């Protein structure tokens, strides 16, 4: 069933809690619902959202916001260690992770407590603690607005990269609406616990279930990240920069140690949070906006009344300072609308 609203308040549809509105807001629950829409007659442009957890609205949106309510989780028992499952784009991501962990399936546990929907996770290629969504995605089903029909992309066609996919490309973003995602999980224990703080929690022995890893991830995230229901934010605001090894050596001069992760091809990933903290921004407050005191990678709506301009001004101040000090250009992970 399609629900349509005009001049809709989006303050509860974005976790930054920006007080903005859109010209038109539509919720749909199936591909048939999408087929029934006359997209050409809708206020333009079109914007598909999940739970608004990776968005910064910079002002009122002049077009149509589309919100998926496609809600299903279907297991395909093929009698092997590998377990495929099809999931609707509107399913809450963490509820899916909780279900698969409770069912003893490995693959999603490291991605626990990440806000948003399954469809948005496939667009963003969410990641945490050494695992990305692309590691478990087999394919993505979509509605093609131009052809008004269902279509599908195999994992390799999605062009997944660091917080990136083909669905973020302007050529595809306005054409394809993700309706479902096919995942492949495992009954066989495959814990990924070598990354960051997660490694220290299992020094005494490997986890025996995905639920143990999920519990550890939730504990870590709750200790350092704000609850968006209590303090508006969009999670990690910046991508971690990736630099050549020679540039990393230059950055390292003058520091006893620089946290980093070695990647293929001689590149180094440096935590943006470390750079931001070195520039003195941890806990910094600028009007209604602030850098979260426990995790400088997160910008927050500190007053509950912050304007988009205050968030953007703080973002610019941080990127200017990091570039001046380290010669590195930070790029936002959060999408600006």
Catalytic positions are: 163, 236, 333
Cβ partners under 8 Å of residue 98, min gap 6 = 112, 214
Q: In what order do the strands lie in the sheet with 261-262?
A: 242-244, 267-269, 261-262
- Cα-based distances in Å from 225 to 80, 174, 187, 244, 287: 37, 32, 30, 29, 21
The C-alpha atoms of residue 112 and residue 102 are separated, in whole angstroms, by: 12
Cβ partners under 8 Å of residue 130, min gap 6 = 110, 192, 194, 195, 196, 198
Where do runs of H (alpha helix) occur along the chain?
Answer: 31-35, 93-102, 118-124, 170-173, 197-200, 210-224, 245-252, 272-278, 308-326
The C-alpha atoms of residue 113 and residue 181 are separated, in whole angstroms, by: 19
Q: Of 290, 281, 287, 293, nearest to 321 (Cα)?
A: 281
């Amino acid at each position: 069933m399609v629900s349509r609203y005009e001049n809709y308040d989006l303050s509860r549809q974005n976790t930054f809690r920006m007080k903005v509105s859109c010209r038109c807001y539509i919720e749909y629950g199936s591909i048939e619902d999408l087929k029934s829409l006359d997209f050409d007659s809708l206020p333009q442009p079109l914007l598909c959202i999940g739970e608004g957890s990776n968005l910064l609205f910079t002002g009122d949106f002049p077009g149509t916001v589309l919100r998926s309510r496609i809600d299903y989780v279907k297991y395909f028992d093929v009698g092997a260690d590998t377990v495929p499952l099809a999931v609707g784009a509107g399913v809450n991501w963490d509820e899916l992770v909780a279900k698969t962990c409770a069912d003893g399936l490995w693959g999603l546990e490291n991605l626990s407590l990440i806000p948003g929907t399954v469809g948005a996770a496939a667009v963003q290629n969410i990641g945490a603690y050494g695992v990305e969504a692309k590691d478990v995605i087999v394919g993505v089903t979509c509605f093609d607005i131009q052809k008004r029909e269902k279509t599908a992309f195999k994992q390799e066609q999605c062009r997944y990269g660091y917080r990136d996919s083909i669905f973020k490309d302007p050529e595809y973003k306005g054409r394809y609406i993700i309706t479902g995602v096919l995942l492949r999980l495992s009954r066989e224990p495959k814990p990924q616990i070598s990354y960051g703080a997660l490694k220290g929690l299992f020094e005494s022995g490997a986890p025996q279930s995905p639920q143990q890893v999920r519990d550890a991830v939730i504990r870590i995230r709750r200790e350092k990240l704000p609850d968006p229901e209590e303090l508006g934010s969009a999670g990690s605001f910046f991508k971690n920069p990736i630099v050549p090894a020679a540039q990393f050596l230059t950055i390292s001069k003058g520091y006893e140690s620089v946290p980093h992760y070695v990647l293929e091809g001689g590149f180094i990933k440096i935590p943006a949070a470390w750079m931001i903290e070195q520039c003195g921004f941890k806990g910094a407050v600028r009007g209604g906006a602030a850098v979260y005191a426990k995790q400088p990678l997160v910008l927050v709506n500190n007053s509950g009344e912050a304007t988009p301009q205050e968030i953007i001004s703080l973002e610019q101040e941080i990127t200017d300072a990091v570039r001046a000090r380290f010669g590195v250009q930070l790029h936002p992970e959060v999408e600006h609308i």
